[in-house]
Structure 1
Amino acid sequence: MSRAVRALRGATTIDDDTAEQIEERIIALLTELFDRNDIHHDDLISIVFTATSDINSVFPAAPARKFGLGDVPLLCAQELDIVGGTPLCLRVLIHLNTERGRDELHHIYLEGAQGLRDDLPE
């Protein structure tokens, strides 16, 4: 199969808005996404992080730099403040080159974000 540009989603939540917990949860999320999808650094195009409005202690991209992604274009944005939305939630959208088909990608939802996309395959 030829390589194609694909997008991979993931999310996690934090219990407390601290830089330490955000770093721990972002690194755990990225580790799971990379491991489950066999992502290599050179496959990456860009990564977009969002955080709900109740998170303001650190940019979610900061832990990604510690994870070794300092040379990958990273962007942070604030998630829409929707009534009934998942609080203290961090989301990620990874753009990558891969030989995997869209149906072969494993989107990862951890902690309190596990129910966000229960329509996606494991």
Structure 2
Amino acid sequence: MIRGIRGATTVTADTEAEIIQAAEALMQDLIESNGIEADMVASVFFSTTEDIQAAFPAKALRNIDGWTYVPVMCMKEIPVAGALKSCIRVMVHVNTEKSQQDIQHIYHGNAVRLRPDLQND
């Protein structure tokens, strides 16, 4: 079964260092929380709000051991009025036997407000 695992984070500045650090921390948490190994992953999609332009968040994935060959893509979010700014979102398509309710979606920073119903204490 292929499942989608969602995550999001925010940055306080549009700098390459902050974008990469935030995306890497998000991915490390998502990987650890769901017991994911790179060979389980079909693809990873990152999106950013239009105010993030200094770096591709996908670059962070290359800092994680074993993730060199995982297909990854970046895109822009649609600019919806009132939407959360400075936000990086991710969708990981993973082969897993976990049920939908056992998937741990991860939200960091101000992105926790996107899905407060999914927050783990």
Amino acid at match of 1:7: G
Question: Identity, % of aligned pairs?
Answer: 37
Determine the C-alpha separation between the residues in 1 that align with 2:87 and 2:16.
14
- Can you give the 5+ residue segments of structure 2 that lack an aligned partner in the other structure? none
2:57 to 47, 53, 60: 60
Match of residue 18 from structure 1:
15
- Partner SS for 2:91: strand
Match of residue 27 from structure 2:
30
Q: Report the alpha carbon displacement of residue 65 of structure 1 after superposing the two structures with TM.
A: 1.5
- Can you give the 5+ residue segments of structure 1 that lack an aligned partner in the other structure? none
Q: Report the alpha carbon displacement of residue 42 of structure 1 after superposing the two structures with TM.
A: 1.2
Question: Normalising by structure 1, what TM-score?
Answer: 0.93
Match of residue 86 from structure 2:
88
Determine the C-alpha separation between the residues in 2 that align with 1:12 and 1:121.
13
> Number of aligned pairs?
119
Amino acid at match of 1:116: L
- Partner SS for 2:21: helix
Match of residue 79 from structure 1:
77
Q: Report the alpha carbon displacement of residue 20 of structure 1 after superposing the two structures with TM.
A: 0.4
Whether contact under 8 Å (2:3, 2:96) holds in the other structure is yes
Q: Report the alpha carbon displacement of residue 70 of structure 1 after superposing the two structures with TM.
A: 2.4
1:3-43 per-position Cα deviation (integer Å, ceiling 9, x unaligned):
x1100000000000000001110110001001111111111
Match of residue 115 from structure 1:
113
Amino acid at match of 1:98: T
Over aligned residues, Cα RMSD in angstroms? 1.0
Q: Report the alpha carbon displacement of residue 67 of structure 1 after superposing the two structures with TM.
A: 2.0
Determine the C-alpha separation between the residues in 2 that align with 1:109 and 1:76.
18
